[in-house]
Amino acid sequence: MLNKRKASILALGTVFLLTACGSSATSGTGSQNSASASAGGKIVIKYWTANGGKIEEAKQNLVKKFNESQNRIEVQQANQGTYDDLHAKVQAAFAAGNAPAVFDLEIASTGIFSRSGMLVDLTPLAQRDDAQIDLKDFNPGLMGNAYVDGKLYGIPFMRSTPIFYKNITMLKEAGLDPAGPKSWTELEQYGQVLKSKGKTPLTMAVGVWEYEALVAQSGGKVLSEDGKKALFNTPEGVAPVQFWKKMSDEGIIKFVVGKTAGADAEKDWSNQISAFKIGSTAGVSASLEVAKGNNFEMMTDFMPANKTYGVPTGGCHLAITSKLSEQEKEATWEFVKFMTSKENTIYQHKYVGYLPNRISALQSDELQNYYKEFPQYKVASDQLKYAVLRPNANAYPEITKTMIDAMTNAILEKNVKPQDAMNEAAEKANKLLSR
């Protein structure tokens, strides 16, 4: 999931240089303006989305519900591909003067978009409409990346954490307790048993999102608090790479690379080649369908701990672009409030698996009863007590590419030492952070 985003946002000086994407930025349904008055008198606003499958279906259903709920505003939705694709197209459209009114903003990119003046500061709107939006009702573990320099730029929408997926059927057949593994040590132990049975314990791509989790579990941080210095070459930052290299060398983790890495890892899981996978909570619904179709039992769990548990959050906010008229901004804000309501939070959680962002949704009788039948959905919310913020530095989306390259070399190349690889990547990162 995350490695698709790694080059999505360029440094601030190049934000408006993506004019080559201009023609594709206006593809899909919708007018050429971010919001306009239709012939019927409605305010028409464009909403650009990322991702597909059940995720896109859920958004389409919610947009349809909004449009049918009132007769003043018409939302026209257009999918723009991955977060990487979407962000580039929004940048290009903004430079050309025809950006969407609202879009899915991946949380680690909030800094660069807000600091470049592309987003509406939602702080006064949220304060004015506190009774409706009720920011205190959002899980505190999901709000950190919504703020940049003390101002609110996004409302949590389809939010996620990485979780641990287990093929319970394979574990039982191997004589393993399906309650585990709970730690890095137990993952290695389980892996050795599965390997002896001719199974691949875990297939995964080298991803920054997953790496951020292991750094948190080791008691470290990827960047300094002020976002000005790389810390991923500290002992806590190198420990995950050393662990992954050891697991790769022992044949316990099969690392896949290239553009299809994520899909390749998913195939191993679906085809019961791998007993485990690390994936977004957004995949719970689809994974349950795969397990049912392939006749195996699936459960989810916290990611195995090192010194402690730890995960980053992910997914997107709904963000409103600047340069709208007051009428357009208010219409878009109405849509954002609708999409992030308690009712619709419950709907998208059950339809896809994304986190129930609102505490009131999580505590509702509807979800509590749902979890009794499908406990796989509840794990991500329980794991939030160990959640950490994702770095919000302007250069971080660009830095992730350097990190992935360094980790991949360290894991797969026998003579490359993790410490040396991360030192070199940190040196490059610090140059980007000092700009």
pLDDT tens by residue, 358-385: 999 999 999 999 999 999 999 999 999 9
Residue 397 confidence (pLDDT): 87
Mean pLDDT for the stretch of residues 5-33: 33
Domains 2-160+314-383 and 162-312+395-433 in one fold: yes
**280 beta partners:** 162
| Whole-prediction pTM | 0.85
The domain limits of the chain are 2-160+314-383, 162-312+395-433
Reported confidence tier of residue 19, pLDDT bands at 50, 70, 90 = very low
Give the tens place of pLDDT for each residue, 385-433.
Answer: 999 989 988 899 899 999 999 999 999 999 999 999 999 999 999 999 9
212: tokens are: 């951020």
Q: Which CATH superfamily is domain 2-160+314-383 in?
A: Periplasmic binding protein-like II (3.40.190.10)
Give the three-class secondary structure for 150: coil
Q: Which CATH superfamily is domain 162-312+395-433 in?
A: Periplasmic binding protein-like II (3.40.190.10)
Reported confidence tier of residue 38, pLDDT bands at 50, 70, 90 = low
**253 beta partners:** 202
Residue 28 confidence (pLDDT): 34
25: tokens are: 């930025």
Which of 3-7, 112-116, 273-277 shows the lowest per-residue confidence on average (mean pLDDT)?
3-7
Distance CA 176, CA 217 (A): 24
Mean pLDDT for the stretch of residues 174-184: 97
Percent of the chain with pLDDT over 70: 91
Cis peptide before 178 (omega within 30 of 0): no
Q: Is the pLDDT of residue 5 over 50?
A: no
Residue 144 confidence (pLDDT): 85
Which of 14-23, 149-158, 359-368 shows the lowest per-residue confidence on average (mean pLDDT)?
14-23
233: tokens are: 């070459």
Computed from CA positions of residues 165, 169, 173, 176, in that sequence, does the dihedral angle turn out positive or negative? positive
Give kind and range of the element (H or E) at residue 155.
strand 155-160
Residue 1 confidence (pLDDT): 42
Q: What is the maximal distance between C-alpha atoms in the chain?
A: 68
Give the tens place of pLDDT for each residue, 324-333.
Answer: 999 999 999 9
110: tokens are: 């909030």
Distance CA 87, CA 74 (A): 23
Q: Check if the beta carbon of residue 57 is closer than 8 Å to that of residue 65.
A: no
Distance CA 36, CA 94 (A): 16
Mean pLDDT of the chain: 90
388: tokens are: 């950490």
Q: Check if the beta carbon of residue 137 is closer than 8 Å to that of residue 360.
A: yes
Q: Check if the beta carbon of residue 144 is closer than 8 Å to that of residue 357.
A: no
Q: Is the pLDDT of residue 25 over 50?
A: no
14: tokens are: 């190049």
Pairing assessment for the beta strands 102-106 and 43-49 based on DSSP bridges: parallel
Q: Is the pLDDT of residue 153 over 60?
A: yes
Q: Check if the beta carbon of residue 143 is closer than 8 Å to that of residue 136.
A: no
Distance CA 307, CA 325 (A): 51
Q: How many other C-beta atoms are found inside a 10 Å radius of the C-beta of residue 82?
A: 16
Which of 23-27, 57-61, 205-209 shows the lowest per-residue confidence on average (mean pLDDT)?
23-27
Distance CA 144, CA 246 (A): 34
Q: Tokens 């329980």 label which residue?
A: 382
Q: What is the CA radius of gyration of the chain?
A: 22
Distance CA 395, CA 255 (A): 27
Q: Is the pLDDT of residue 73 over 50?
A: yes
Give the tens place of pLDDT for each residue, 203-255.
Answer: 999 999 999 999 999 999 999 999 999 999 999 999 999 999 999 999 999 99
